[in-house]
Amino acid sequence: MLASGFCLLACPGVSGGRTSTVRNNDLGAAPTTTALSLDQLPSHQWATVLDVARPDSADDRELVLRLTEIGFVPGEAVRIVATGTPGREPLAVRLGHTTFALRRHEAALIHVTPGPRTMVEAVIQGPGRLGATAQPARIALLGNPNCGKTALFNLLTGSRQKVANYAGVTVERKEGTLRTPTGRRVFVLDLPGAYSLNALSADEAVTRDIVTGQAQEALPDLLVCVTDATNLRLNLRLVLEARQLGLPMVVALNMTDMARKQGISVDTAVLSRELGVPVIETVGVHTGGAKNLLEALDAPVAAAAPQPWKAPGLDDVLATQREVRRILGLAVKEPVGSLDTSDRIDRVVMHPVWGMLVLAVTMFLMFQAVFSWANVPMDAIKAGTEGLGNLIKTHMPEGMLQSLLVDGVIAGVGGVIVFLPQILILFLFILALEDSGYLPRAAFLLDRLMGTVGLSGRSFIPLLSSFACAIPGVMATRTISNWRDRITTIMIAPLMTCSARLPVYALLIAAFIPARTVGGIFNLQGVVLFALYVFGIVSAMAVAWVMKRFRDSTRHSPLLMELPAYRWPNLRNLALGLYERAWIFIQRVGTIILTLTILLWFLSTFPSPPEGATGPAIQYSLAGMIGRGLEHIFAPIGFNWQISIALVPGMAAREVAVGALGTVYALSATGDDVASALEPLIAGSWSLATALSLLVWYVFAPQCISTLAAVKRETGSWKYVWIMAGYLFALAYVACFLTYRIALAFGAG
């Protein structure tokens, strides 16, 4: 089945990676053309797809089917717009309005002939318009990755789910409700993006199971197939596949505003006629952009006549692609060469030398900004917490309650919340990079490097998501189809420096690294912060390389990643994203951190010291006894009993460590003084070797119970949780021991 019907043109002699001669009989004149594999095509030269090589293995069979599903079919025009290291991995291939990243051995499966499109073949199929019956009460949003489903979901339901300009943002189902213009309540499912119902990854399987009735729940009353109006060539194939399920369906033609700006004209009446279902224009990022869709949900929809789903074979996919081409010819008009600007940008940002330089400079400037831009708002927060502490001291008599509020709540919470501006600056850069479409290009650049340690470039985005928080990073691995690659990515995700580490890093860097300029323009503290992030990345790559030694490396792991069109970051998305991150951080401060800080204050205050005690009261408290017990374990890596205590609540939330240190040292100052007085205090009582050791501890140690819980949920096994916790704690201890001893040897004690 997979082999039959695969070559629509007569292609004698074509074989992967070699050129041959083909005779094209579809044009009547039977001209002779030269065939070569796509990886041999010179950069920036157009060619026409002839066929895709017959699959030799199960891995190749899946890859060949997916290549065909996304549009590498006979007659399509392709062009290589960028390459990795000359003669090596990977390639960026333009197919219609979409750019895909392929490894060279993947591109070698595709046979092309230089020159423009030479053949178009159509198959007319599809049912007529369905009859109307009842109003939908449960709808599901279905569509390709990065077609604007979640933006439309947010607009319809008032939700604030994450949106970004790359494939794979939604990796699990999202649920919400909407009200139609007549007041009816409708339940809405936002499904992960899928190129096909023939799922190759965990996120695509979620979508397939729900729309085909395999998810042990009722089928949706209505499928809303969301399509990108700027890229219907890629999107319509899934619509035609979903139509065969026999469910009532509406097509939401999304991003119509962008299509008009690009000069693309879509005749919705013709498109609706050819598809046999209603087609409604939407703009998911504009208020009122779903008005027509909401009105349509009040209208009766077709009676469901579910059909058993059968995985499409290669013949089926080819026939569907020819039908897509036929419909596009009738319903869509677009200008030629509208993507030249994108090509020119890609020639720089995906260049093997200039592209890496752009990536390095972007990351470096991001960490410089974390220190350089945050000073004014941080000073304002410090002044506010200091004023609050002084106000309490002035109007409240000394005693336990004053100590709880000043030494416990303000010292702990105020010492953490002061770092909110730095966290928001970091997220501002990450959100802007996500919305611009740049992140998949970075994955393209790093694919060769990641391939050497046994990972695919597809691992890059989950790992980059882990810079915000390891939990969504672990969840984002659902887009990786290879289970071993996915497990490896999960295991190294906690080594990415998440935002919760930033308060600890900022405190120690401010205490031990002078705030001076190096090279005339660079902030030294920012350079050190950048080095810590690089250290985490390098460590993750080293761990992945070690894991590669212990797993089967014969299974093929394709790159095959969509590179979205560039666009300016949406200011509304940026503002909402920053608001969400700020609110999440404040919630953590007001719940987990506040609770643990108060608990630690009690442990540090009771019991009272015995009569005649000469040392600080905290030494005789429960916290002091626990800390001195733990000190025997951590003394070899330079940690005193105060640090040992702070590590315990830090397991729930890393940023608690800053407030915990303030409480443990029994500061009587306000929140401002926690941040500013704690710095000289630890600088005077700790050695540089201890500070370096603690920084290294936070690079490696899995000080986050929530991340371990996410690993259990994603893998379905406690085995991987214990493996992760065991190797990370062991790695942290060994690395700290070496760091501390080497620092002492160089006189940093």
Give the start-to-end residue ranges of the domains of the chain.
36-114, 133-311, 355-499+527-553+570-578, 591-746
pLDDT at residue 11 in the model:
40
Q: How far apart are the C-alpha atoms of 313 and 566, rounded to whole Å?
A: 34
What's at 561, amino acid-wise? M
Q: How far apart are the C-alpha atoms of 68 and 62, rounded to whole Å?
A: 10
Q: How far apart are the C-alpha atoms of 715 and 472, rounded to whole Å?
A: 14
Q: Facing residues of 35 across strands?
A: 20
pLDDT at residue 439 in the model:
84
- Distance in Å from the first CA to the final CA of the chain: 71
Residues 6+ apart with CB under 8 A from 246: 304, 305, 306, 307
pLDDT at residue 666 in the model:
53
Q: C-alpha angle 280/281/285, rounded to 5°? A: 130
pLDDT at residue 718 in the model:
93
pLDDT at residue 301 in the model:
66
Contacts of 582-590 with C-beta under 8 Å, sequence gap 24+, read: 582/420, 582/424, 585/417, 585/420, 585/423, 585/499, 586/417, 586/420, 588/653, 588/655, 589/413, 589/416, 589/417, 590/413
Q: Facing residues of 190 across strands?
A: 141, 174
Q: Write the burial class of residue 468 (CB in 10 Å: 0-12 exposed, 13-18 middle, 19+ buried).
A: buried
DSSP secondary structure letters along 216-279? SSPPPSEEEEEEETT-HHHHHHHHHHHHTT---EEEEEE-HHHHHHTT-EE-HHHHHHHHTS-E
Mean pLDDT by 10 residues, the chain (749 residues): 37 40 38 75 88 74 87 89 70 87 88 68 32 68 92 90 76 88 90 91 89 84 93 94 92 92 92 93 85 86 74 89 93 73 84 89 87 86 86 88 85 84 90 89 82 80 84 88 89 91 90 84 87 92 89 66 87 89 88 87 84 74 89 95 90 83 60 55 89 95 90 92 96 96 91
List the structure tokens of 204: 């695509």
| CATH number listed for the domain at residues 133-311 | 3.40.50.300
pLDDT at residue 605 in the model:
83
Same fold, 36-114 and 133-311: no
User: CATH fold of 36-114, please?
Assistant: SH3 type barrels. (2.30.30)
pLDDT at residue 173 in the model:
87
For residues 280 and 251, the answer to whether their CB atoms sit within 8 Å is: yes
* Full-model pTM: 0.79
For residues 195 and 146, the answer to whether their CB atoms sit within 8 Å is: no
Q: Facing residues of 34 across strands?
A: 21
DSSP secondary structure letters along 435-492? HHT-HHHHHHHHHHHHHHTT--GGGHHHHHHTTT-HHHHHHHGGG---HHHHHHHHHH
pLDDT at residue 129 in the model:
35
Q: How many CB atoms lie under 10 A from the CB of residue 642?
A: 21
Residues 6+ apart with CB under 8 A from 119: 8, 9, 24, 26, 27, 48, 74, 75
